[in-house]
C-alpha cells in the first residue's frame, strides 16, 4: 500500500499498490490471518484504520511500515491542541479483535493514536502487538480498554496533551 496507490490498485506489488483510502477494507476483508500488509513510507493524510477482523492463534495479521527511501509511513491528521477534544482516532480496534501486529508506523497530530473503546461483555481483544509505533503532537496516544495479552514495544510518544499510555479497565497480561 502507498498513500496514493498505483497501477491497478490490487496490492500485488508496489507498481499496483492499494491506496490508503482502502486500508480498513484491505485489513478486514482482503488480507487473511497470517498475511501481512506492507505500507510504503510517505504521509497518509487523514486516514483512519478501523480493525474489526483480526488473525488467528499462530497466524496474526501483520500491518507493517516499510522505508523505501521516504522514511516510515506517517499517519497525519489535523488535530490541534487549540481544539483538544475534536479530531479523529488513527487506529481503532473493534470488539473482540485478536492476533494483530502493527509495526513501524508514525502518527502525528491525532486526538487518539490507537484507541480500543469499551467492549461488550465477552468481546475482549487479545494478542495485540504494537512495535515501533511512534506518536507526536497528540492528545491521547494509546487509550486501550479490554485488551489482554497486549505488547507495547519500542513505542515512543512525544508532545501529548493528556495521556501517552492509558490502560483503562479490563487490560490484563500487558508487556511494555
Cα(103)–Cα(63) distance, integer angstroms? 6
Predicted TM-score (pTM) of this structure: 0.95
pLDDT of residue 59: 98
State phi, psi for 154 to the nearest 5 degrees: 55, 40
Contact of 161 with 81, CB cutoff 8 Å = yes
Q: Is pLDDT at 120 greater than 90 in this prediction? A: no
Q: Is pLDDT at 169 greater than 80 in this prediction? A: yes
Q: Is pLDDT at 40 greater than 80 in this prediction? A: yes
Amino acid at each position: 500500500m502507498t498513500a496514493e496507490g498505483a497501477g491497478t490498485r490490487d496490492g500485488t506489488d508496489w507498481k499496483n499498490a492499494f491506496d490508503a483510502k482502502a486500508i480498513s477494507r484491505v485489513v478486514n476483508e482482503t488480507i487473511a490471518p497470517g498475511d501481512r500488509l506492507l505500507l510504503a513510507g510517505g504521509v497518509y493524510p487523514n486516514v483512519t484504520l478501523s480493525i474489526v477482523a483480526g488473525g488467528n492463534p499462530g497466524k496474526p495479521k501483520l500491518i507493517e511500515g516499510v522505508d523505501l527511501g521516504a522514511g516510515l509511513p506517517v499517519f497525519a491528521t489535523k488535530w490541534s491542541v487549540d481544539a483538544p477534544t475534536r479530531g479523529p482516532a488513527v487506529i481503532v480496534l473493534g470488539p473482540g479483535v485478536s492476533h494483530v501486529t502493527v509495526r513501524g508506523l508514525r502518527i502525528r497530530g491525532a486526538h487518539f493514536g490507537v484507541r480500543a473503546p469499551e467492549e461488550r461483555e465477552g468481546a475482549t481483544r487479545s494478542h495485540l502487538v504494537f512495535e515501533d509505533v511512534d506518536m507526536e503532537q497528540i492528545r491521547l496516544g494509546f487509550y486501550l480498554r479490554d485488551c489482554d495479552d497486549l505488547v507495547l514495544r519500542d513505542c515512543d510518544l512525544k508532545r501529548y496533551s493528556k495521556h501517552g499510555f492509558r490502560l483503562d479497565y479490563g487490560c490484563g497480561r500487558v508487556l511494555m
